[in-house]
Amino acid sequence: MTVKRTIRIAFARIQQESNEFSTVESTIEDFERTHYMEGNVLLEAIKPTGKEAEGFMKNAELSGFYKGIQEKNSEAQIEIVPLFSAWAVSGGPLSAETQSLFENRLMSKLKDAGPIDGVFFTMHGALRATGIPNPEERYLQKIKEVVGANTPIAVTLDLHAHLRGDLVELTDVLCAYRTNPHRDHAKVGARAAKILVDVILGKTKVAKTWRYLPMILGGGSTIDFLPTMLPVFRKLKKIEEDPRVLYVSLFMVHPFLNSPDLGWAVHVMTQNDVQLADQLADDIANLAWDVRHKMPPEFDPPDRALAKVRKNKMARKLGTICLCDTSDAVGAGGTGENTHLLAYLLTHAKDLLSYVPVRGPQVFEQLVNTKVGAQVSVTVGGYLQPDINPEVAVAGRLTYNQATKAFGQVAVVDAGHVQLVITEGAPLAFKPEFYENVGLSVWKADMVVTKGFFPPRIFFALHSRKTLNVATKGITDLDLYKTLDFDGPVHPIKALPGWRKADAERRQANPK
């Protein structure tokens, strides 16, 4: 009887999307508040009976990894070794102490794991740390220091990752999401896991290449199932029907990074066919470049958005209207403290019932001995980034004040036409449960404010009859790219005849 060889694969996650316009550093507490697991607790969470990222989603990349490994168990005896999983809400760059902690923890747990044949690592691709260049590449370098340069590493990335040559060079398998809003985490994890196993077993030899595109915005709304990007992502899927193609990725970049080499990118992996990889990378780059002139839709200022809310009476009767506060998109690293929209609704929307979230950690010192039901007067804003988020005073009845795992302390102030939800941590107001869990029925509101670009469109689909993007002034305004210092011309700052010159220069400097 043939005995299958046992291979050991370690797996871990360090995942956050950073916003370098934020002055509020992210710390280990932000990860522990949102999602932190290690060892057997993590292993149980990624099994079909577990919940990998409670509050985010039941199944994400590591659940997909687990499923992919189970499907490959007929080909080899595979032992998976859990290290740790740390996932935080988008925010400011990691503190140097937090970056150092993660590096040391990653190396320590890998050393304790014993002999390893491969590593599966989930990260975002747009994480930054104060004073430390390229922190995610540093994680990969630390992994290689422990397991050896020839031990294959598989990485999963968000499609808003900032792809660079160093990251390509340090990975053997690289797979990105292909949905926006993101909903294919587990599928991507499973694909990457299967390719990794085949690499370890010698069944697959990966040929990889990448392309850089000097563009920051384009692709319309960049939603994968809307007209501009739908044919592009369909083409990616079609390309992978060729058995010689392992995986293709398109990166539409996170525009809130202060990196001179920022831009869209393409990554292709084939079955040991360099020529095919190059051809496909060029083809996909051309597809992406062709949609560069389709700019994001114009966002409404508060007055125009409010006029639309008033006009859509039926939408308010049959459900609610979502106002996406695009200047303070917590899902893109906004602090959640922006008060501009709140101030406008307090003054100009007294005939409509609004639910509004805001981050105000300073408020809870004032509410320590205040009982629910009491009349309170609080001031939000002007604390985390006072130059951007002015103070706003709100008076009303305190209807809720409790500690939560996801957001820290949470309080609700009933100010009549505005129900203000104040959170200690970043208010990830993506789902109706954010309001329902504090006693606010979404069905009763004329409008609810959410703090994201894309996820609310999915999670509020049952309740929302209309979604409006509202812009005021904040650290997730799309035009902030104009303030960045690029090391070459980029679209749409400058009209460019093509992408190849910039790509050649970028990859010549960092050729892998």
- For residues 403-419, one letter each, b for 16 or more C-beta atoms within 10 angstroms of the residue's C-beta and e for the rest, the string is eeebbbbbbbbbbeebb
39-70 per-position pLDDT tens digit? 999 999 999 999 998 877 899 999 999 999 99
Q: What is the pLDDT of residue 74?
A: 87
Residue 152 has pLDDT above 90, yes or no: yes
Residue 476 has pLDDT above 70, yes or no: yes
Q: Residue 247: enclosing H or E segment and its boundaries? A: strand 245-251
CA–CA–CA angle 434, 440, 445 (5° rounding):
105
Q: How far apart, in whole angstroms, are the C-alpha atoms of residue 362 and residue 364?
A: 6
Residue 416 has pLDDT above 90, yes or no: yes
Cβ atoms within 10 Å of 87's Cβ, excluding its own = 24
Q: What is the pLDDT of residue 29?
A: 93
- With beta carbons less than 8 A apart as the criterion, state whether 439 and 412 touch: yes
257-312 per-position pLDDT tens digit? 999 999 999 999 999 999 999 999 999 999 999 999 999 999 999 999 999 999 99
Q: Mean pLDDT throughout 238-246?
A: 97
Query: What percent of the chain shows pLDDT beyond 70?
Result: 99
Q: What is the pLDDT of residue 278?
A: 98
- With beta carbons less than 8 A apart as the criterion, state whether 438 and 421 touch: yes
Residue 157 has pLDDT above 70, yes or no: yes
Residue 1 has pLDDT above 50, yes or no: no
Q: Mean pLDDT throughout 81-87?
A: 98
Residue 2 has pLDDT above 50, yes or no: no
User: Dihedral, CA atoms, 494, 496, 499, 501, nearest 10 degrees?
Assistant: -100
Average pLDDT, the chain: 95
Taking the CA atoms of 223, 225, 226 and 229 in sequence, report the sign of the dihedral they define: positive
Bridge partner residues of 271 (DSSP): 206
Q: How far apart, in whole angstroms, are the C-alpha atoms of residue 168 and residue 146?
A: 19
Task: Indicate the SS3 state at residue 465.
Answer: strand
355-410 per-position pLDDT tens digit? 999 999 999 999 988 999 999 999 999 999 999 999 999 999 999 999 998 899 99
- With beta carbons less than 8 A apart as the criterion, state whether 346 and 361 touch: no
Considering the four listed CATH numbers 3.10.50.40, 3.30.450.30, 3.20.20.70, 3.40.50.2300, the one that applies to the domain covering 1-204 is: 3.40.50.2300
Residue 4's pLDDT band (cuts 50, 70, 90): low
Q: Residue 140: enclosing H or E segment and its boundaries? A: helix 135-147
- Termini Cα distance of the chain: 43
Residue 161's pLDDT band (cuts 50, 70, 90): very high
Q: Name the CA radius of gyration of the chain, rounded.
A: 23
* Domain chopping of the chain, boundaries: 1-204, 210-295+478-512, 302-470
